[in-house]
């Protein structure tokens, strides 16, 4: 399975592609951060993010897209920008017919470190270890995108099978 992980943000949008399956070593395919200038109007910044996500999907052909679930922080302007970037990423993936999964930050931290309250350094260290890298990806948005992809490979596939089984059972009882 090949997963594109997206750590959404209006200024920095982390993008990471990981390939592999549960119980097998995972492989880093690509990682980067899409940046937009705060000097530009928000609409133009969203178009830049849309084009960037489209280019990554076109180039890397993921089987699924995992996006960080937006949660409320104290700075409402950050939440709004993150939500806008997240929405763009989900629309681009859905337009291509790709399954989109949302994972919370604590779920991702728990999946890759075993601790839902892990800090950025711990997540970076585990990403480095899991993907057998020489050093942690920088900036943290890049590591977070890879962590999302890893989480989806490890947990998302199982959840998809559970959802499909529940749906099939519901169809049989009608």
Convert 91-122 to b/e letters by CB count within 10 Å (16 or more is b). Answer: ebbeeeebebbebebebbbbbbbeeeebeeee
Active-site residue, selected from the candidate residues 50, 68, 134, 144: 68
141 as an active site residue: the answer is: yes
Q: Is residue 119 annotated as a catalytic residue, yes or no?
A: no
Helices (H), the chain: 42-60, 76-95, 105-113, 120-130, 140-151, 157-172
The three state secondary structure string of 104-136 is CHHHHHHHHHCCCCCCHHHHHHHHHHHCCCCCC
Specify which residues 28 forms β-bridges with: 18
Catalytic residue among 7, 50, 59, 75: 7
Choice among 19, 59, 141, 144 that is catalytic: 141
* CA 128 vs CA 5, 13, 131, 141, 171: distances in Å: 16, 20, 6, 14, 43
Catalytic annotation, residues: 7, 68, 141
């Amino acid at each position: 399975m090949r997963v594109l992980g997206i750590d959404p943000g209006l200024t920095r949008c982390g993008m990471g592609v990981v390939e592999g399956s549960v119980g097998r070593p995972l492989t880093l395919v690509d990682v980067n951060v899409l940046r937009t200038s705060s000097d530009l109007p928000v609409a133009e910044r969203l178009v830049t993010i849309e084009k960037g996500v489209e280019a990554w999907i076109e180039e890397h052909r993921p089987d699924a897209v995992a996006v960080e679930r937006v949660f409320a922080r104290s700075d409402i302007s950050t939440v709004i920008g993150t939500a806008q970037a997240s929405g763009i990423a989900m629309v681009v993936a859905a337009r291509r017919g790709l399954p989109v999964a949302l994972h919370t930050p604590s779920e991702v931290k728990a999946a890759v470190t075993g601790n839902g309250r892990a800090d950025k350094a711990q997540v970076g260290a585990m990403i480095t270890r899991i993907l057998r890298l020489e050093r942690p990806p920088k900036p943290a948005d890049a590591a977070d995108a890879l962590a999302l992809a890893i989480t989806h490979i490890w947990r998302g596939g199982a959840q998809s099978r559970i959802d499909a089984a529940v749906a099939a059972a519901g169809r049989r009882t009608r």
